Amino acid sequence: MARSYTGISYTLYAIVASVLLAAIKLTFGILGSSSALISDGVNSLSDIVGYSVVAISLLISGKKADRVHQYGHEKIESVVSLLFSLVIIFTGSAIGYSGILLILDTGPVPVPTALALWAAVASLGVKLFLALWTRKGYRNTRSSALKALYTDHLSDAVATGGALLGVLGAQSGFPAADPLASILIALFVIYSGFKVLRSSFHVLMDASADTQTVQRIRTLVAENEEVLRIDLLKTRTVGSGYYVDIEICLEKDLSLEKAHEIAEDVHDRIEEGLPTVRHVMVHTNPCKRE
């Protein structure tokens, strides 16, 4: 539950920052005649909705298992991350469409003013700070929702950087640089959305643990000399952790009590050796020592 509250605190700060950034970007984008900064402001508006949904999902994921959800509620993070990714992709598409319309417009392209320039610089600094700060939170909690949040902050920072380059290019004598920056921003935002979508989809499809984690499990099991071999090892991702199903082969003449003792030892070794493992199911098979 503490992990969820940590994630919620990161998300609430992100919501407050997004409200302020949206206000700054839209206000100074309009006053400073920058289509790229206005597009970036629309992106921040969508973030407010997305982050609010993430905060709710983190609150739900921290609930204990109940009669209906006996394996807990952690997968809600991946469900929300998937929905959040669709919001990111939609926002990027809208930004790109707006940029294309501006380029196709045959009228004069307005040149952004210094107001837009300084607003872009300030927004970039805030987003870089949020990205680095949220990455630290993700590394501490391994929350898939925080990973999506970190990815979005990073894509926003790149988007704002693109807006800044667009403003600078337009002020340097290339008016089309500003709407072109909007299109580049859109492409990167869409790409980031698909990355979050792919990650969320893998979790929902019970993707196995990474190779390093699986090898660590095998090493921990091998530390018990009573285990003759591993007949089956399956892992699946749930939220920010893993579930493990393992079949171990033991001397066939062992008593039921002894076999249970070994299985319990294997269970404890895995859960204590890998904090990311949420649950271990151990099955024993009889076999001969070679």
Q: Are 6 and 140 in contact (CB under 8 A)?
A: yes
Nearest CA to 283 out of 231, 237, 239 is that of 231
At 185 the pLDDT is 76
Q: How far apart are CA 206 and CA 185, in angstroms?
A: 33
Residue 238 reports pLDDT greater than 60: yes
Q: How far apart are CA 61 and CA 73, in angstroms?
A: 5
Residue 3 reports pLDDT greater than 60: no
Out of 14-23, 186-195, 204-213, 274-283, least confident range: 186-195
Q: What is the dihedral of CA 209, 152, 58, 10, to 10 degrees?
A: 120
Q: Are 180 and 166 in contact (CB under 8 A)?
A: yes
Residue 265 reports pLDDT greater than 90: yes
- Where residue 81 falls among pLDDT bands split at 50, 70, 90? confident
**pLDDT single digits (tens) 129-152:** 888 888 887 777 767 667 777 877
CATH architecture of 211-287: 2-Layer Sandwich (3.30)
Nearest CA to 116 out of 156, 74, 169 is that of 169
Mean pLDDT of 170-192: 79
For domain 2-204, give the fold: Alpha-lytic protease prodomain-like (1.20.1510)
Mean pLDDT of 261-289: 91
Mean pLDDT of 34-52: 75
Q: Where along the chain do its domains lie?
A: 2-204, 211-287
Mean pLDDT of 45-67: 72
Amino acid sitting at position 263: A
Look at 281 and 91; give whichever has higher pLDDT.
281
Q: What is the dihedral of CA 42, 201, 68, 282, to 10 degrees?
A: -140
Q: Are 237 and 276 in contact (CB under 8 A)?
A: no
Q: Is 121 left (phi over 0), alpha (psi -120 to 50) or beta?
A: alpha
Helix (H, G, I), strand (E, B) or coil at 175: coil
Q: How far apart are CA 35 and CA 14, in angstroms?
A: 24
For the ranges 11-20, 54-63, 186-195, 267-276, the one whose mean pLDDT is highest: 267-276
Q: How far apart are CA 30 and CA 32, in angstroms?
A: 5
Mean pLDDT of 58-79: 73
Residue 190 reports pLDDT greater than 90: no
The structure tokens listed for 225 are: 């000399």
**Sole residue written with tokens 């190779």:** 211
At 137 the pLDDT is 79
At 2 the pLDDT is 47
The structure tokens listed for 157 are: 């920072």
The structure tokens listed for 100 are: 């294309």
Q: Are 54 and 73 in contact (CB under 8 A)?
A: no
